[in-house]
Structure 1
Amino acid sequence: MRIGFIGAGNMSGAIIKGIISSGIVKKEDVFASDKFLPTLEKVKTNYGINITEDNKEVVEKCDVIFLAVKPQFYNEVIKEISPFVKTTTTVVTIAPGQTLKNLEVTFGKEIKIVRTMPNTPAMVCEGMTAVCANKKVTKEELEYICTLLNSIGKAEVVAEYMMDAVVGVSGSSPAYVYMFIEALADGAVMEGMPRDMAYKFAAQAVLGSAKMVLETGMHPGALKDMVCSPGGTTIEAVSILEERGMRSSVIEAIRGCVAKARKM
Structure 2
Amino acid sequence: MEISKKLFFIGSGNMAQAIISGLVQSKLVRPENIVCNDVVKDKLEAVAQKFAVAIAENKGEAIIGSDIIFLSVKPQNMPQVFEEIKHFVKKGAIIISIAAGITTKFIEDSIAKEVGVIRAMPNTPALVLEGTTALCKGRYVSDEQLIKAKTLFEAIGKAEILPEDKFDVITALSGSGPAYVFYLCELMQKAAEKLGLDAATAEKFAVQTIYGAGKMLDITKTPAAKLKEIVKSPNGTTEAALKHFEAQKLEEIVEKAMSEAVRRSKELSR
Q: TM-score w.r.t. structure 2 length?
A: 0.95
Match in the other structure for 2:162: 158
Please give the alpha-carbon distance, in whole angstroms, between the structure 2 residues aligned to 1:38 and 1:223.
47
Identify which of 101, 112, 115 aligns with 2:116. 112
Please give the alpha-carbon distance, in whole angstroms, between the structure 2 residues aligned to 1:157 and 1:136.
16
Give the letter aligned to residue 98 of structure 1. I
C-alpha deviation, 1:11, in angstroms: 0.4
Give the letter aligned to residue 173 of structure 2. V
2:13 matches 1:9: yes
Identify which of 198, 204, 212 aligns with 1:194. 198
Identify which of 173, 177, 190 aligns with 2:177. 173
Percent of aligned pairs with the same amino acid? 38
Please give the alpha-carbon distance, in whole angstroms, between the structure 1 residues aligned to 2:72 and 2:43.
13
C-alpha deviation, 1:249, in angstroms: 1.3
DSSP-derived class of the 1:136 partner: coil
DSSP-derived class of the 1:41 partner: helix
Please give the alpha-carbon distance, in whole angstroms, between the structure 1 residues aligned to 2:255 and 2:212.
23
Give the letter aligned to residue 245 of structure 1. K
Identify which of 132, 138, 141 aligns with 1:134. 138
DSSP-derived class of the 2:35 partner: strand
Please give the alpha-carbon distance, in whole angstroms, between the structure 2 residues aligned to 1:57 and 1:122.
29
C-alpha deviation, 1:60, in angstroms: 1.5
Give the letter aligned to residue 135 of structure 2. V
**Matched-pair contact (CA < 8 Å) for 1:96–1:164:** no
Give the letter aligned to residue 244 of structure 1. Q
Which structure 2 residues correspond to residues 92-107 of structure 1 after superposition, within 5 A?
92-107=96-111
- Greater shift, 192-201 or 19-28, is seen at 192-201
C-alpha deviation, 1:54, in angstroms: 1.7
2:236 matches 1:216: no
Cα-to-partner distance string for 1:232-252 (whole Å, 9 max, x where unaligned): 000001111112222211111
Query: Unmatched 5+ residue regions in structure 2?
Result: none
Q: TM-score w.r.t. structure 1 length?
A: 0.97
Please give the alpha-carbon distance, in whole angstroms, between the structure 2 residues aligned to 1:150 and 1:79.
31
Match in the other structure for 1:58: 62
Identify which of 237, 242, 253 aligns with 1:238. 242
**Matched-pair contact (CA < 8 Å) for 1:185–1:202:** yes
Give the letter aligned to residue 159 of structure 1. P
Identify which of 48, 59, 72 aligns with 1:44. 48
**Total equivalences in the alignment:** 264
DSSP-derived class of the 2:234 partner: coil
Match in the other structure for 2:128: 124
DSSP-derived class of the 2:87 partner: helix
DSSP-derived class of the 1:84 partner: coil
Identify which of 73, 79, 90 aligns with 1:86. 90
**What's the Cα RMSD here?**
1.1
2:188 matches 1:184: yes
Cα-to-partner distance string for 1:168-194 (whole Å, 9 max, x where unaligned): 000011111111000111111122222
DSSP-derived class of the 1:151 partner: helix
Match in the other structure for 1:70: 74
DSSP-derived class of the 1:222 partner: helix
C-alpha deviation, 1:214, in angstroms: 2.5
C-alpha deviation, 1:210, in angstroms: 1.8
Please give the alpha-carbon distance, in whole angstroms, between the structure 2 residues aligned to 1:42 and 1:245.
47
Match in the other structure for 2:210: 206
**Matched-pair contact (CA < 8 Å) for 1:11–1:123:** yes
Please give the alpha-carbon distance, in whole angstroms, between the structure 2 residues aligned to 1:29 and 1:194.
49
